[in-house]
Structure 1
Amino acid sequence: MALPQGPLEHRYRGEHPVRTLAYLFREDRARLLVAVLAFGVKHSPVWLLPLVTANIIDIVVEQRPISDLATNIAVLTVVLALNYPMHLLYIRCLYGSVRRTGTGLRSALCRRMQELSIGYHSRVSASALQTKVIRDVENIETSVQQSSDNGLNAVMTLAGGLAVIGLRVPAALPAFLIVVPAAALLVQRLRARLRSHNAQFRREVEQLSSRVGEMTSLIPVTRAHGLERTAVARVDGSLRSVLTAGLRLDMLNGHFGALAWILLQALGIGCLALAALVAYYAWLPMTPGDVVMLSTFFTTLTASMTVLMGLTPIITKGLESVRSLGEVLEDPDLEVNDGKQRIEKVGGRIDFERVGFRYDTEGQAAVTGFSLSVAPGETIALVGASGAGKSTILNLLIGFIRPVSGRITLDGRDMATLDLRSYRRFLSVVPQESVLFEGTIRENVGYGLETVDEEQVRRALRDANALEFVDRLPSGLDTVVGERGARLSGGQRQRLAIARALIRDPRILVLDEATSALDTRSEALVQEAMSRLMRGRTVFVVAHRLSTIRGADRIVVMDQGKVLEIGSHEELMRGGGAYARLQKNQLG
């Protein structure tokens, strides 16, 4: 199935969500029209049946020719036979349009998330974005489907019924136009009184969900302190509250449901009695069949009006989901690369020229006046206390954020003028927590590469000191690592991350606390692998353990976004400055 082409997000500018929905379905207007026509044909028995029933009663009472009976039965049989193919046509056109639009929306959201800046992703949680892609789009699909099914049902019934009444008993039409909406409003008012109780029950269920989530997350602590009974008692309290609220809601639903049904039936009986009196005393020209028809239509049309009034929560939920998606699709915090110079080759020279950056326009600067010239193939280590600005420098280097002042150049070209997507093809990052996806080792190591053979993968794994444990796994390269690499140890995951970097042969390498979470043996294996990875490349290293960066060409010591001193390990130790004090504190 072909997906909608081109971005959808350019239409999201705070417009009314109904207009947005109309735009989303623009390519399926013809299908939607066919769906409405098909629904009209398939639904026609609902309003034709009272008319045919009235005709048959009159044929029997007035002793008309039996051929009239056959004609009415034939008409009803034909429209009943058409219901099946028309229903399938309706489902194919309407539901197909809804599914295609939902798929297009999810695709647009995923594309937009790839275009939004890292700053946006640091502000908005991944679970919230996942909810928008899955639940909000599902809400829109469900809302459109239910609104179409129930709304078209009600509208077609009302239109058909009122048309039949207008043609058959025109004198009764004004009464129906007044009484039917009034009756539907009364029924709706009765049901509306349940909303507050439904909201109370929902809050109790949400509280229970929170308690269960809390209990599961605290199981290690609970077990360690022998507090199982206390934890279960807390959940049992919420369970009792949900039980009480649920039983109360069920009883209220029963009361109001019965009252609404009695009211509707009583009004129907009143309509039947009134129609019978009108026919009996000949106040209006009305046949016995008309009496039955009007009584049937009163109940049917009142129910249809009630359905239309009850669609409001469904429609509101769908429109709110459209607004929720708009928060992502119209957010201006984008990384713009279109029209900028593409990078075809990278030498590896990086120059920071009095670079400044702040995350909050009114807050303290994260980096101030940072200047550094890095030659191709040089290894630079960034050290300093937490909050010194090390991670900010790495994010500026990768292009996740842009300098507020100063500039960064790559091989003499201002990075603000470059297509960062093409630049990142020559860059690899090994983070503190390696990011693996649910897939095989082969897929994780070769992630993003169009063609990669087994020998390349094995060579990268060998250089990353990972081949020895991969070959011991039951399925070797085809072993599934689990979600986020859950089936591997921390050291194994990190060596796979290094293999992923090696196979790309990057010119610029970023190592962000790559060994801080490892035990001594794993750290030794990873350090050996990283030494191979760093050869001949421009490398930026952030490390908490100063022992891991002694071999760097230069060490940059930072504090509160500023450079305190720069030099090799030996030079800085001889100087007795900030770096020497950090070394002393760690060794001491």
Structure 2
Amino acid sequence: MRQKQPTPRVASLPADHVYSGQNPVRTLGRLLSPELPRLTVAVVTFVAKHSPIWLLPLITAVILDVVVEHRPVSELWTATAVLLAILLLNFPLHLVYVRCMGTIVRGLGTMLRSALCARMQQLSIGYHSRTSASVLQAKVIRDAEAVEQMLMQCADLGLAAVVTLVGGLVVIGLRVPSFLPVFLIVVPAAGLLVMRLRGRLRDQNELFRRRVEQLSSRVGEMTSLIPITRAHGLEHAALGRVNATLDEVRSEGIRLDLLNGRFGSLAWIVLNTLGLLCLTGSALVAYHGWLPVTAGDVVMLSGFFTILTGSVTTLLSLAPVLSKGLESVRSIGEVLQEPDLERNTGKEQISSVEGRIDFENVSFAYGEPGAADREVAVDRVSLSARRGETVALVGASGAGKSTVLNLLIGFIRPTSGRILLDGTDMARLDLRSYRRFVSVVPQESILFEGTIEENVTYGLRDVGKDAVRQALQDANALEFVDSLPHGVDTVVGERGARLSGGQKQRLAIARALVRDPRVLVLDEATSALDNHSEALIQQALSRLVRGRTVFVVAHRLSTIQDADRIVVMDHGRIAEMGTHDELIDRGGLYARMHTAKR
């Protein structure tokens, strides 16, 4: 029946070893280390393709000196030919760079998203109940994208700035070494000054962005309230709220435009003034012969000043991008390093299930052991179910019914006691293989954007059309499915939006039927339906439970009167247990609940 499951090789990202939440830079290094050869090719190619940017001032200087000093014209042609060759090589080199860097960055993004999704499948249900699904979705989409953008911008803008800066300083150091100290001081100072001016603009842009977000919120609020607004004749009041926000956005926008104009002009004046001073200073040095500087050198130094200052400014402007990207690395690490996993590796794998379930003095408490706020949800529960039996769980909200089902499915583990499956402690079993023999019909059916057939056969292979139609027929769903435009190939819409609640529930039953489960869990499967839909689904459920071990949580007591055993839960404990008639005769909690529901 069971065999020892071999330990699988982990093909995905080794998150526990690669990730270090407190060292995102080191983490990135580890993630990129397998791509080191391709990264080296990308960097070398980028340096070659980007060389015209820092070679142009040098070649311009050579050409100017040929004209001014009447050097051989051959030097002019040589300089022109060299620059033209480098310019023409830019196209193939750029394609090689984009291919290499794009493969690295997109591959890393795909790996991170895949690792996050794989980790989410491994994390316990307890973790998912504590963590918002939207938060996890943001990590998969936005955080991975922020890492991609950081790498791409650092590769494109950052690498360009570094190559230009290093190349320019090397050229200056070789051709006019006496000016190198000046550039090492003045260029960073000019870059910092420009960034300081831009910093003021960033604050105002942030304020304007918030005003626009407020406007978006107001418009969304207005559209959602249109029925109420129309019903009470409040159109003027609604427009007044939106128009007030529009006025604020307009005022902030004008203020931002003026500030952009002032600081943009000021930054341009400062940068060009410093460039003019550099040009004038180098010209005076050449004119008076204080240093061996040619006319070409003067033009080269002036050109390099603008280029190098722009490179420093670019590097400084990447700081927010780096900060956001590294924070996203930490954010992704919160999931990839989360230790609350469902441990199945090395445990016994199930090849068949008879369906005997035994709870032996089982307790479960939420929270950390010894914590003051620890809450006992199930307290010393003992019950048994054999194949073909239906066990119904009833009780007030918070009595522990759903916790018992979560323990049965293996979403959570008992904090004490044990649960036996066909006589074997479930703590020893690979729950993934066990769940192949379990089907769950929840209170609200979960459907995905796809066809009816794809939803019914989700996760299964080689299920024929006949089997699907038989499952739909047994679920009392075939009639409405055949009436749809494309039958079983009809797309149900996101979360089954094109179907009614009763139709979605019947598809959920068909999904359970087609799997032929040994253990069936019904979690208030008819509580949210009208009487007609409930009658259809009760007929379908009567077919579904035959020959299976069934655990059912019911809101309507009338739906579980035929259960083999009714377990009445109260504050996590079993208050009473028996058949419907036995419990009514006792006149206890169940009898009082039954009377109150009439």
TM-score with structure 2 setting the length: 0.95
Q: Tell me if the contact between 2:358 and 2:385 (Cα under 8 Å) persists in the aligned partners.
A: yes
Matched, 1:9 2:9: no
User: What is the CA deviation profile of residues 104-156 of structure 1, one whole-angstrom value per residue up to 9, with x for unaligned ones?
Assistant: 11110110010011111111111111111111111111111111111111111
The root-mean-square deviation of aligned C-alpha atoms, in Å, is 1.5
Which runs of structure 2 are paired with 1:65-76 in the superposition (5 Å)?
65-76=72-83
User: What is the CA deviation profile of residues 430-486 of structure 1, one whole-angstrom value per residue up to 9, with x for unaligned ones?
Assistant: 000001110001111111112100010011001000111111111011000111111
Q: Which residue of structure 2 lines up, in the alignment, with residue 87 of structure 1? A: 94
Matched, 1:395 2:402: no
Alignment partners' CA distance in 2, 1:505 and 1:104: 36
Paired residue secondary structure (2:375): coil
Q: Tell me if the contact between 1:198 and 1:249 (Cα under 8 Å) persists in the aligned partners.
A: yes
Q: Which residue of structure 2 lines up, in the alignment, with residue 162 of structure 1? A: 169
Q: Which residue of structure 1 lines up, in the alignment, with residue 207 of structure 2? A: 200
Q: Which residue identity lines up with residue 550 of structure 1 in the other structure?
A: Q
Paired residue secondary structure (2:366): coil
Q: Which residue of structure 2 lines up, in the alignment, with residue 296 of structure 1? A: 303
Which runs of structure 2 are paired with 1:364-513 in the superposition (5 Å)?
364-513=375-524
Paired residue secondary structure (2:34): helix
Q: Tell me if the contact between 2:22 and 2:330 (Cα under 8 Å) persists in the aligned partners.
A: no
User: What is the CA deviation profile of residues 519-563 of structure 1, one whole-angstrom value per residue up to 9, with x for unaligned ones?
Assistant: 111100000000000011000111111111111011111111111
Q: Which residue of structure 2 lines up, in the alignment, with residue 125 of structure 1? A: 132
Q: Which residue identity lines up with residue 393 of structure 1 in the other structure?
A: V
Inter-CA distance 182–211: structure 2 relative to 1 (3 Å threshold):
same
User: What is the CA deviation profile of residues 321-360 of structure 1, one whole-angstrom value per residue up to 9, with x for unaligned ones?
Assistant: 1111111111111111011111111111111111111223
Matched, 1:558 2:569: yes
Q: Tell me if the contact between 1:208 and 1:235 (Cα under 8 Å) persists in the aligned partners.
A: yes
Alignment partners' CA distance in 2, 1:418 and 1:108: 25
Alignment partners' CA distance in 2, 1:571 and 1:313: 70
Inter-CA distance 338–473: structure 2 relative to 1 (3 Å threshold):
same
Paired residue secondary structure (1:358): strand
Paired residue secondary structure (1:465): coil
Displacement of 1:364 after TM fit?
2.9
User: What is the CA deviation profile of residues 176-202 of structure 1, one whole-angstrom value per residue up to 9, with x for unaligned ones?
Assistant: 111111111111111112232233223
Paired residue secondary structure (1:365): strand
Alignment partners' CA distance in 1, 2:178 and 2:58: 16
Q: Which residue identity lines up with residue 13 of structure 2 in the other structure?
A: P
User: What is the CA deviation profile of residues 384-424 of structure 1, one whole-angstrom value per residue up to 9, with x for unaligned ones?
Assistant: 11111111111111111111111111111111111000000
Displacement of 1:255 after TM fit?
1.2
Q: Which residue identity lines up with residue 248 of structure 1 in the other structure?
A: R
Q: Which residue of structure 1 lines up, in the alignment, with residue 4 of structure 2? A: none
Which runs of structure 2 are paired with 1:78-477 in the superposition (5 Å)?
78-218=85-225, 221-222=228-229, 225-361=232-368, 362-477=373-488
Matched, 1:58 2:69: no
Inter-CA distance 455–224: structure 2 relative to 1 (3 Å threshold):
farther
Q: Which residue identity lines up with residue 257 of structure 1 in the other structure?
A: G
Alignment partners' CA distance in 1, 2:338 and 2:234: 46
Q: Which residue of structure 1 lines up, in the alignment, with residue 582 of structure 2? A: 571
* Between 303-312 and 217-226, the greater mean CA deviation after superposition: 217-226
- Unpaired runs of 5+ residues, structure 2, are 1-9
Alignment partners' CA distance in 2, 1:454 and 1:424: 24
Identity of matched residues, %:
67
Inter-CA distance 129–297: structure 2 relative to 1 (3 Å threshold):
same
The total of aligned residue pairs comes to 584
Displacement of 1:14 after TM fit?
2.2
Paired residue secondary structure (2:522): strand
Q: Which residue of structure 2 lines up, in the alignment, with residue 32 of structure 1? A: 39
- Unpaired runs of 5+ residues, structure 1, are none
Inter-CA distance 228–525: structure 2 relative to 1 (3 Å threshold):
farther
Paired residue secondary structure (1:246): helix
Alignment partners' CA distance in 1, 2:522 and 2:221: 35
Alignment partners' CA distance in 1, 2:99 and 2:549: 57
Inter-CA distance 126–223: structure 2 relative to 1 (3 Å threshold):
farther
Inter-CA distance 251–436: structure 2 relative to 1 (3 Å threshold):
same
User: What is the CA deviation profile of residues 352-379 of structure 1, one whole-angstrom value per residue up to 9, with x for unaligned ones?
Assistant: 1111112234233111111111122110
User: What is the CA deviation profile of residues 28-80 of structure 1, one whole-angstrom value per residue up to 9, with x for unaligned ones?
Assistant: 11111111111111111111111111111111111111111111111111111
Q: Tell me if the contact between 2:279 and 2:302 (Cα under 8 Å) persists in the aligned partners.
A: yes
Alignment partners' CA distance in 2, 1:124 and 1:214: 27
Alignment partners' CA distance in 2, 1:456 and 1:228: 56
User: What is the CA deviation profile of residues 281-301 of structure 1, one whole-angstrom value per residue up to 9, with x for unaligned ones?
Assistant: 100011111111111111111
Q: Tell me if the contact between 2:13 and 2:111 (Cα under 8 Å) persists in the aligned partners.
A: no
Alignment partners' CA distance in 1, 2:378 and 2:235: 49
Q: Tell me if the contact between 1:106 and 1:137 (Cα under 8 Å) persists in the aligned partners.
A: yes
Inter-CA distance 444–203: structure 2 relative to 1 (3 Å threshold):
same
Paired residue secondary structure (1:452): coil
Inter-CA distance 121–301: structure 2 relative to 1 (3 Å threshold):
same
* Between 168-177 and 189-198, the greater mean CA deviation after superposition: 189-198
Q: Tell me if the contact between 1:376 and 1:538 (Cα under 8 Å) persists in the aligned partners.
A: yes
Q: Tell me if the contact between 2:523 and 2:553 (Cα under 8 Å) persists in the aligned partners.
A: yes
Q: Which residue identity lines up with residue 312 of structure 2 in the other structure?
A: M
Q: Which residue identity lines up with residue 15 of structure 2 in the other structure?
A: E
Displacement of 1:319 after TM fit?
0.7
